[in-house]
Amino acid sequence: MIRVSVVIPTRGRPDLIARSVRAVLANDHPDFEVVVVDQSDDDRTGEIVRALAQSDRRLRYVHTLPPGLSRAYNVGIRLTTAPVIAFTDDDCVAARDWISSVARAFDADPAAAMLYGTVALPNELATRAGIVPVLPIERAERLDQRNGFRIYGMGANYAMRRSLFERVGGFDEILGGGGPLRSSQDFDFQFRAYRCGAVVLLRPEVTVDHYGLRTPEQWPETQRAYCIGNAAFYVKHIRCGDGGAALRLSRSILKLIVRQARHLVDRSRPSQLEHLRAYLDGARESLRYPIDRNRRLYLPRRPAGA
C-alpha cells in the first residue's frame, strides 16, 4: 500500500498535542511518517513531542518561526518524502484506520489528487456548552471540472498527492490562521487545484474527531476569521481576472444578504450583518497585498516608501 506522510501543525497547545500525535502513531497503516511543525513561543510542546519521538522513529519534530498555518504546511511538505501527504490538527484525534483510508482512496482512484474527510464531534463533547466546528460528509463524491465542483472541506482532515503540490505550488502564506488574512488557505489551494484540472474526493470513511471547542464568546471571532479569509481568497483570484471566482464570491454574499432579509422579517433568525462586514473587511484588507499572478499567490506587503 502507498506510503503516506502526515503533517501536524501546532502552536501553543501542549495540553492537546500528545493525544493527537499518539492517535496518528497508533494507526494501522504499515508505512507512514509523521512530522510535527511547531510554531509555539515556548518549548513545552517541543519537550512533549521530542519525548514521543525517542520511542518511535516514524515521528519527527521541527520548530519554525514566524508563525502561520500556511507556512507550517509548506515547511511540513518540504520535510516529508511520501507520495501522499495527509494533514490533521493538534486538536484532532484520528481514527485508527485514518491513514489506511486515505491510502485506499488514492489507490482506488489514480486520477484523484486531493481528498477531504469527515471531521466529527466526539461523544464526550456532545453535551458540552459551546461550538465545535465539524464537517459531515454524507456520501463519497468526486469534484472536478467534469462532474461539478464546489468548495467544500475542512483543514482538520485532508490529504493530497505530492505531485499536486508540485503542480499547483505552495500554500498561500498570507492566508490561513496566524497569517494576515486569517483563514481559507486550504480553500484557496483547492480552488487552484481545480483550475489545474485536479480531481478532489470527499470520503466519509476518512475520519477524525475534533476537540476544538469554542465557547459562545469565542465563536463570533472564529466565524469572522472564516469570512475574512473566504473573501480574501476569492478577491485574489478576481484580481487575476477569474470570472468563476467572482461568481462564487457573489453567490456567497447573496446568500448572506438573503439570510439577513429573513432576519429582518423573523428576528428569531440570526443576523448576518457581522458576517457581511467581515466579508467587506476581508476584501478590503486583501487589496493591500500585491499578487504573483502566475502562481496566484499573495506577496508580502511592500515596506512604506519602498
- pLDDT, one tens digit per residue, over 7-27 is 999 999 999 999 999 999 999
Tell me the backbone φ, ψ of residue 135, rounded to 5 degrees.
-135, 100
DSSP annotation of 125 reads G
Cα dihedral 190, 164, 57, 2 in deg (nearest 10): 110
Strand (E) or helix (H) holding 247: helix 243-265
Place of cell 501553543: 12
DSSP assignment of 78-97 equals: HH---SEEEEE-TTEEE-TT
For residue 213, what is its C-alpha cell?
471547542
Write down the pLDDT at residue 301: 87
Last residue of a domain, one of 176, 193, 210: 210
The string of pLDDT tens digits covering residues 136-154 is 999 999 999 888 889 999 9
Q: Give the integer Cα–Cα distance in Å for 249 and 246.
A: 5
In a domain, 304, yes or no: no
Tell whether 18 and 45 lie within a shared domain.
Answer: yes
Q: Are residues 32 and 176 in the same domain?
A: yes
Distance CA 224, CA 19 (A): 29
For residues 34-59, average pLDDT: 98
CA distance 304 to 306: 6
| 305 within domain boundaries | no
83 within domain boundaries: yes
Please give the pLDDT value at position 1.
Answer: 81
204 lies in the same domain as 232: no
Which DSSP helix (H) or strand (E) runs through 10? strand 4-10
Whether residue 176 sits in one domain with residue 76: yes
Kindly give, in sequence order, each residue whose CB lies less than 8 Å from that of residue 168, ignoring residues fewer than 6 positions away: 189, 192, 193, 196, 198
- Count how many domains the chain has: 2
In a domain, 303, yes or no: no
Looking at the structure, do residues 129 and 175 belong to the same domain, yes or no? yes
Q: How far is CA 37 from CA 63, 168, 174, 180, 205, in A?
A: 6, 22, 18, 19, 26
Q: What is the CATH number of the domain that holds 191?
A: 3.90.550.10
Separation of alpha carbons 260 and 267, rounded Å: 10
Residues 98 and 137 in one domain: yes
Counts for the chain of helices (H) and strands (E), in that order: 9, 11
pLDDT at position 146, please? 87
Q: For residue 120, is it within any domain?
A: yes
Query: What's the mean pLDDT in 184-210?
Result: 97
Q: What is the DSSP letter of 75?
A: H
pLDDT score recorded for residue 304: 56
- pLDDT tens sequence across 76-124: 999 999 999 999 999 999 999 999 999 999 999 999 999 999 999 999 9
Region 260-266: mean pLDDT is 97
Q: What integer is the mean pLDDT of 198-215?
A: 97
pLDDT value of position 303 = 62
Which among 210, 228, 246 is the end of a domain?
A: 210
Mean pLDDT of 67-82: 98
Indicate whether 305 pLDDT > 90: no
CB neighbours of residue 72 within 10 Å: 29
Q: Inform me whether the pLDDT recorded for 259 exceeds 90.
A: yes
Same domain, 142 and 228: no
Give the Cα separation of 37 and 16 in Å (integer): 14
- The Cα–Cα gap between 82 and 64 comes to 21
Same domain for 243 and 197: no
User: Which residue range is the domain that position 93 belongs to?
Assistant: 4-210
Q: Are residues 246 and 286 in the same domain?
A: yes
For the segment 54-72, the average pLDDT, to the nearest whole number, is 97
- pLDDT bin (cut points 50, 70, 90) of residue 186 is very high
In a shared domain, residues 43 and 136:
yes
